[in-house]
Chain A
Amino acid sequence: NAGVTQTPKFQVLKTGQSMTLQCAQDMNHEYMSWYRQDPGMGLRLIHYSVGAGITDQGEVPNGYNVSRSTTEDFPLRLLSAAPSQTSVYFCASSYDSSGLGEQYFGPGTRLTVT
C-alpha cells in the first residue's frame, strides 16, 4: 500500500492564481480530511469528508473548495490564491468514518503564495 499520497510536494503561486492540491489513499478509508500547518500553530482542519459524495467544512474553510467523487481521491482547490494561504497542507485519512480513529497523514504540500 502506498498509503496517503499528495502532489505536488512544493508549489509557488502568484496572488490570484488557482490550483488543485491532489490527495489519494489506497486503504479504502471512508474519512478524509485536509489540514494546514502554520509556524507556531497547531494543525487546523480545512474540510473533511465522511464518504464519497459527502463533504463538510472544518475550522478554516474560507478560500478552499473540495469534492469527493470517489473513495480514493479528495482534491483541495484554491480558487484565488492569497498570501495568507502560504502554508504546509496535509491530507489525512481514517478507517473510522467518525474521524475519531487513527488518522494516516500524507507527506504534505508546501505552498508559497507571492
Chain B
Amino acid sequence: KNQVEQSPQSLIILEGKNCTLQCNYTVSPFSNLRWYKQDTGRGPVSLTIMTFSENTKSNGRYTATLDADTKQSSLHITASQLSDSASYICVVSAGGSYIPTFGRGTSLIVHP
C-alpha cells in the first residue's frame, strides 16, 4: 500500500530560526513529490514539485530535497517568519495513477 509519513507531527520554533521537515514515502513507481503549505482555514498552496531526476528545488526561503534511493524528502525553511506558521503537506504521486498519496502534514508554529 502506498504511504507517506511526515515528521515531526508538530514543531514550534522562534522567528528567524531555520527548520527542516521530513517526508518518507513508499509510493511505487515514483512519479513526483510535491510540498504544499496550508494556512489555517485555507486550501493548500504549492511550494515545490520534484521528479525522480531532481535532488533539490528552491522557492524563496523554502528548499526541498529528494533522495529517490532512500525514498526521503525534506523541506528546509530558512530564517523563519511568523507567516510561515501553517501545515506543510507532502504529496507523492505514482506513475500511471491519478490518485496521489497525501501525508498528514507537519504543523509549524513560529513564535516571535
Give the B-binding residues of A (Cβ under 8 A): 4, 40-45, 48, 50, 56, 58-59, 90, 92, 98-108
Shortest Cβ-Cβ A-B pairs, 3 listed: A105-B43, A42-B102, A43-B102
B73-104 residues with Cβ-Cβ distance < 8 A to A are 89, 93, 98-104
In whole angstroms, how far apart are the Cα atoms of A105 and B37 in the complex?
11
Q: Name the segment of B11-19, B44-52, B63-71 touching the other chain.
A: B44-52
Using A42-B4, A92-B43 as known contacts, list a sample of 4 further A-B pairs with CB atoms less than 8 Å apart, ordered by residue number in A. A43-B102, A45-B98, A105-B45, A106-B43
B33-55 interface bits toward A, Cβ cutoff 8 Å, 1 = contact, 0 = none: 01000000111111001000000
Q: Which residues of A contact B105 (CB under 8 A)?
A: 42
CB distance from B104 to the nearest CB of A (A): 5
| Known contacts A59-B99, A99-B98, A102-B49; A107 and B104 CB within 8 A of each other | no
In whole angstroms, how far apart are the Cα atoms of A104 and B49 in the complex?
13
Give the A-binding residues of B (Cβ under 8 A): 4, 31-32, 34, 41-46, 49, 89, 93, 98-105
Q: Which residues of B contact A100 (CB under 8 A)?
A: 31-32, 93
Q: Which residues of B contact A4 (CB under 8 A)?
A: 43
CB distance from B31 to the nearest CB of A (A): 6
- Looking across the interface, which residue of chain B has its beta carbon closest to that of A90? B43
CB distance from B107 to the nearest CB of A (A): 11
CB distance from B99 to the nearest CB of A (A): 5
Q: Which single member of B4, B99, B103 contacts A58 (CB below 8 Å)?
A: B99
- On whether the beta carbons of A102 and B34 are closer than 8 Å, the reply is yes
| Known contacts A100-B93, A106-B43, A107-B42; A45 and B100 CB within 8 A of each other | yes
- On whether the beta carbons of B89 and A50 are closer than 8 Å, the reply is no
- On whether the beta carbons of A105 and B44 are closer than 8 Å, the reply is yes
In whole angstroms, how far apart are the Cα atoms of A42 and B34 in the complex?
14
- On whether the beta carbons of A56 and B98 are closer than 8 Å, the reply is yes
- On whether the beta carbons of B89 and A43 are closer than 8 Å, the reply is yes
- Looking across the interface, which residue of chain A has its beta carbon closest to that of B42? A107
- On whether the beta carbons of A42 and B99 are closer than 8 Å, the reply is no
